[in-house]
Amino acid sequence: MQLAEVYLAYSLARSSAVDAPRLLMLDNSLSGILGNSSFSPVNTRIHDASFNGESLTLADMHVALAHPFNRALDVPSTKKFQPHHRLIAEAVWHGKSKIAATACPGFPRASFDAAARYLSKPGIDAGTWDSAAGTFTFRVDPRASWTKSIRVFEQVCESLFRDKSPTGLLHSVAGDDSRLEYFTVRDLAFLIGVGIRALIETSWERRTLLVGVVKDSASRFFYRNFLGSILVVKGQDPARHLSVPLSDRSIVELLPNTSHELHAPWGTVEFDSCFMTLHPERPDPKQPWVVKGYNHQSLGETTRPERIFLRSLVQFLLTEEGVASHALFLDRLAYPDWDDKDSGKLNLSTGQFGTISPFFFDSGTPNRLQQLSLYLLSILVRNHFPEALGYPDPLHQADWGAKSMKRRVTGLLESSDIAFRANPLYKTFRSIRESFGR
C-alpha cells in the first residue's frame, strides 16, 4: 500500500506543467518513510534481479539511498554520520565521476577519506580511491546510476499498478531470465525509498508543496526530543521537563483548556525531523546532559538526516463551546529560499556526529511556509463528517477508498479458502487433526 501511495504521488508530481498539482498531501509520515527506507542494501536481493536486461548493483543502490540532494539546503550535510552520502552528492554537483577532496570546501578531509574508503571496499566497489592524491573515481557516473534506479522503480510500479500484471511482484534473476523470484520485504522497502527520494527532488524542482498528515501517534519527538535538546543547548537541566509522561498529542490537546487565547487553526512551532532521533540523554548521573542519537544494535549511534523535513502539531477545530478536534501531525518538505532564510541558527555539538545544524524556528521567528500550509489545509477541513472533525476532507475520502479496497481484497482472500475446505486432501494431516481440538 505504501509503495502505491508513493508511486501515485510521484506520478502526480511528474505530470505535465498544466496538470501538475501545487499541493500534494499524503496520509503518512514523510520523514518516517524516508527514515525507514534508509538502510544498508547489503541484505536485499534486488541487486541480483534483472529488469528488461538491466540490473542494479550494490553501488547503484548506495547512490540511490544517498539522495535527495539539494546544494542550497546543504543536503546531505557534512556530519560524520554516513559521509559517503556527501561524497556522492559532491560528485553530482560537480558533474564529474572523479572528485577530489580539495574541490569540496567545507567537507573535512577525514570525512572524505572515510567516505572514499567505504565506497571502495569489496562488496560495494563503487570506485577507486587514491589516498595519496585525495581523489575518488566512480566506476559509473552517479547521475546515470540514479537515473537507472528511477527507471527500475517506474518499471516495477507500472507493472503492478497500471498494467496490474499478476507477475508484478516477481522479477527475473540476472543471468537466468527464465528463473523468477518474489521481491522480498527489503526489496520493496528499497523501491519505496527510491520513490520517496524522487518525489522529494521533483517537489523541489517544480516547487510543489509536499505535506504529510498523520492522525494517531503517541510520539514525544516535540516535547521530549526537540524541547529537551533546546534546554541542553541553553545549559539547563532537562530532568524535570522530561519527567512529564504525556505524549505530544496529549499536551497539545490539553493546552486549549488552559489558555483561551488559542483559536483554530493553530499549531506548534516547526522542528527539524532529525529530532526524531536526536534527544537529550545523560550517560551517567555524574556527567552533564548531552544531545545524541539512538543506539542501533549493529550500526551504533544513528540519526535521521536534517534540513529535509519539518514537523509540527496542529489543531483545525476549536470552538468556544469546548468542541475540539484531535491534534494532527504535519510533516512538510523544507524548501530553499524559504525555510533556510526564515530559520534561526542552531548548532548542536554531538560526540558521534560532530556539529549538526538543523532548521530552527522559535515563537518569534516568522515561518512563511508553515503559515501557508496551515491556511491551505484549513480550507480543506470542511467538517462534513462527524467522525473526522478537523481532518482534511480529501484525505478522509481517500482513506474511505483505501479501506473499501482492503475489504474487497480481504473477501477475495477469504473466499479462496472455500476450495481447501471442500477438499480435505488439500490440507495436511496435522492441520486436520488440530482443527478438531481435544
Structure confidence by residue, pLDDT tens digits, 368-405: 999 999 999 999 998 888 888 899 998 888 888 888 88
pLDDT score at 419: 66
Tell me how far apart the alpha carbons of residues 226 and 362 are, in angstroms, rounded to a whole number: 11
- The overall longest dimension of the chain from CA atoms, in Å, is 76
Nearest to 149 by CA among 71, 77, 69, 51: 51
What is the tens place of the pLDDT at every residue in 152-204? 999 999 999 999 998 999 998 887 777 889 999 999 999 999 999 999 999 99
Domain boundaries, the chain: 2-211, 215-391, 403-436
Q: What is the DSSP letter of 103?
A: G
Question: Over the chain, what is the mean pLDDT?
Answer: 91
Residues of the chain with pLDDT under 50: none
* Backbone torsions φ then ψ of 43, nearest 5 degrees: -90, 10
* Cβ neighbours of 45 (radius 10 Å): 16
| pLDDT given at position 437 | 65
Q: Are 331 and 309 in contact (CB under 8 A)?
A: yes
